[in-house]
Amino acid sequence: MVVTVQGVDRAVSPKQLDPYFPDHGDPRYRVHRYELTLDYRPGPNRLGGTARLSALAGPEPLREFVLDLAEFRIGRVLVDGKAAHYAHRAGRLRVKPARPLAAGAAFTVEVHYSGNPRPVRSQWGGLGWEELTDGALVASQPIGAPSWFPCNDRPADKASYLLSITTPSPYAVVTGGRLLTRTTRASSTTWVYEQAAPTASYLVGVAIAPLERVLLVDGSVGGVPQSGHVPAELVDRFAADFARQPQMMRFFTELFGPYPFDGGYTVAVVDEELDVPVEAQGMAVFGSNHVDGVRGSERLVAHELAHQWFGNSVTVADWRHIWLNEGFAKYAEWAWSEHSGGLPASTHALRAHTLLTGLPQDLRLADPGRRLMFDDRVYERGGLAVYALRRALGDGAFGALLRDWTAARRGGVVTTADFLAHAQRYGAVLELLEAWLFEPALPPLV
């Protein structure tokens, strides 16, 4: 697809390498299912097991392909059950099947590996597997997934997941999706989860720690099942801080459309301070510093929940379009505030606009560049772009736009061009959106 904006051709395709991270992912094939059978020992921070990937070759014969995987020890690599040649360097596992794979062929690759997982280094610090004082968590956005399993690490390559994780019995294993079984043998427990919905590799989250389960909504009596997994000493604070999440869920389902995942929504709180909460598909991870007992981080509760629609179900084809994740999640903070008796969205928008007025005007929201993709201006200006669209269309058409967008694109990948084409069906808003998305200068707030 090519979108022409003020004379500039903007070619976008989810079948290409991500321009921000061209050394991650391989567009020559697609994975449609991961089956991870893992054993984790928190004391020595030791992870080992098997990853089985079911995939499809692209339109050309596949003589070799690449998986992203950190520096683990490789036991063996099989393609369709037969030993394959491989080379493992600098986080890239290059696999050469015994025979080339035909164009469009279905195939499986099985990797046996073990080692001490550690975060992937990046300009934002460590990403992915993080060892805690007592346990571990996964925070992979944008390129941390290879820190713990072999994957085609590009957001456009979404797949279903079956995760079987064995760990000492005092530890809970929390991830998104539906818990199928929990089996204890001797001193170890195996937790098996199914995430059937298409999931990007960076959105597979895990928390492993001594945690107690807190039920917020029992799905058997209606509503989206919601639970928390919390250190025992923080249960009371959690109950106060997340008491309004079920109301938030009801509001967002009215505003954005049905909650997109069958397994419900889980929040894990770890006994560590985190700079920001961690979004993942069907779950979010908060730090102990986000749980104060007086709802001091409720805007973040709203932000992470909104990502289940914007970012997780509807996922960016590549990281140039990150505003489609963060702009809508920021706007959701303002919408919840307005709905729940706090400051109206207009006041939040005015404050954000005033803040941005005093900052450099050198960011293009629809393609901020790798260096600035997590800049606060992407979040604030993204929220303002969504708010400006609401103002231009009116609440009725704006609500229809949001619900139709999440329904039509559920489980898929999108670009800014896709959103522009969608938005124009509800009103003459192309010029408005072009100013917010493609021009560095901050448009006026009207």
Q: Which of 379, 380, 387, 426 is catalytic?
A: 379
User: Residue 150, Cα to own-chain centre: how many angstroms?
Assistant: 17
Question: Residue 24's closest CA among 170, 167, 152?
Answer: 152
Nearest-angstrom CA–CA distance, 210 and 389 = 44
| CA nearest to 393, candidates 424, 351, 435, 439 | 424
33: left (phi over 0), alpha (psi -120 to 50) or beta: beta
- 110 appears as a binding residue in the annotation: no
One-letter amino acid of 169: S
Torsion of CA 318, 322, 325, 330, to 10 degrees: 180
**Catalytic annotation present for 304:** yes
Catalytic residue among 279, 304, 333, 380: 304
Q: Where are the alpha helices (DSSP H) in 68-212?
A: none
CB 413 within 8 A of CB 317: yes
Both structure tokens of 439: 């021009």
> Does the annotation list 212 as a binding residue?
no
Q: Cα–chain-centroid distance for residue 256?
A: 18
Does 307 belong to an annotated binding site?
yes
**Interstrand relation of 413-414 and 315-316 (parallel, antiparallel or unpaired):** parallel
> Can you tell me the distance from the alpha carbon of 30 to that of 24, in angstroms, rounded to the nearest whole number?
14
From residue 52, how far is each of 34, 36, 112 by CA, in Å?
A: 6, 6, 9
270's enclosing H/E stretch is strand 265-270
Which residues is 206 bridged to in the sheet?
175
Q: Give yes or no for a contact between 163 and 175, defined as CB atoms under 8 angstroms apart.
A: yes
Backbone angles phi, psi at 360, to 5 degrees: -55, 140
Q: For residues 152 and 227, is the Cβ–Cβ distance under 8 A?
A: no
Residue 314, token pair as written in the block: 């509807």
Distance CA 269, CA 285 (A): 6
- 331 among known catalytic residues: no
Residues serving a catalytic function are: 304, 379
Annotated binding site for Zn(2+): 303, 307, 326
Q: Report the binding-site residues.
A: 303, 307, 326
